[in-house]
Structure 1
Amino acid sequence: MSKATKRKHVTKEVLDDYVLPEDNQTIVKILGGKGNNLHEIETSEGEKYLVSMPTKFRKNVWIKRGDFVLIQPIEEGEKVKAEIVAILYAEQIKYIQSQGKWPKEFVPLASTEVCADISSDDDDSSSGSDDLFVNTNRPQCVYESTDSSENELSDSGANKDDD
């Protein structure tokens, strides 16, 4: 199988499969990447440890800080205690919530709901704005346009003419 075909199948599987956690699987939040396909996670109980990304996801699917994943524990690990089974996106999270299997400790879509409210106020359209990418590494700034900067420029220009 070529790399492009593999990427297509893995991406389709990640986006289209709606999975529910089984008995030994848990939903966790990604705290950050640690290199070598290891990620630090936090469980709903507050426990933090490392998980590994399986070979099929490497270089095909990217996860970032704040994403939710489904993990399965591995027996041989002391530092790395589990392996990622599935990466959960907004629609999959909504499905899990509707089935009543979502941990109460995680509030997944709070930041995207705020952004959706802001964008819907600006253009009054609800065209899936909750699916927009929000860069969590940058502070959210709201810029207001004022005419004071234009007035200052014209005032400073008038002073030069007087001299």
Structure 2
Amino acid sequence: MAEEEKSLEDRIRSLRLPNDDEVFGVVESSMGSGHMKVRCKDGNMRTCRIPGRLHKRVWIREGDVVIIEPWQVQSDEKGDIVYRYTQTQVGWLKKAGIWKE
């Protein structure tokens, strides 16, 4: 059991967490053309785009947990999707108490 918790702590440390200007979010719906409606943990509903560097590499669906970087202008309305968590990673975040639904 102690080995399992140690490996969980190591996994959490190696996991990408939001920086100071980034927030967690859950994808609510796809709007097409690489744009998504995302409900963010800070209480805002943002229209977020998938940047070109992620567009073909990462498939994002409704219900996925993502990290959002709000834009400098219209920061409460728009942002960029920076990272998508897998279901396994979301489970690790829940066990560590970082993500609560």
**Which is worse superposed, 55-64 or 90-99?**
90-99
Mark the CA change 1:97 to 1:78 in structure 2 (over 3 Å): closer, same or farther. closer
Corresponding residue for 1:61? 58
Mark the CA change 1:69 to 1:95 in structure 2 (over 3 Å): closer, same or farther. same
* Cα-to-partner distance string for 1:53-106 (whole Å, 9 max, x where unaligned): 11111122211111111111111347852111100112221333344322x3x2
Higher relative contact order (CA 8 A, sep 6+): 2
Preserved CA contact (<8 Å) 1:20 1:96 = no
Unaligned runs of 5+ in 1: 1-16, 107-163
Q: How does 1:138-153 map to 2 (within 5 A)?
A: none
Preserved CA contact (<8 Å) 1:52 1:80 = no
Unaligned runs of 5+ in 2: 1-13
SS for the counterpart of 1:24 is coil
Q: How does 1:99-138 map to 2 (within 5 A)?
A: 99-102=96-99, 104=100, 106=101
Q: What's the C-alpha RMSD, in Å, of the aligned pairs?
A: 2.2
Identical positions, percent: 25
Alignment match of 1:21 (pick from 1, 18, 21):
18
Corresponding residue for 2:92? 95
SS for the counterpart of 1:21 is coil
The runs of at least 4 consecutive aligned structure 1 residues that moved more than 6 Å come to none
Letter of the 1:69 counterpart = V
Relative to the length of structure 2, the TM-score reads: 0.71
Preserved CA contact (<8 Å) 1:31 1:66 = yes
The 1-side partners of 2:42 and 2:70 are apart by 15
The structure in which a higher percent of residues are helix is: 1
The structure in which a higher percent of residues are strand is: 2
The 2-side partners of 1:80 and 1:48 are apart by 7
In terms of Rg, which structure is larger? 1
Letter of the 1:87 counterpart = R
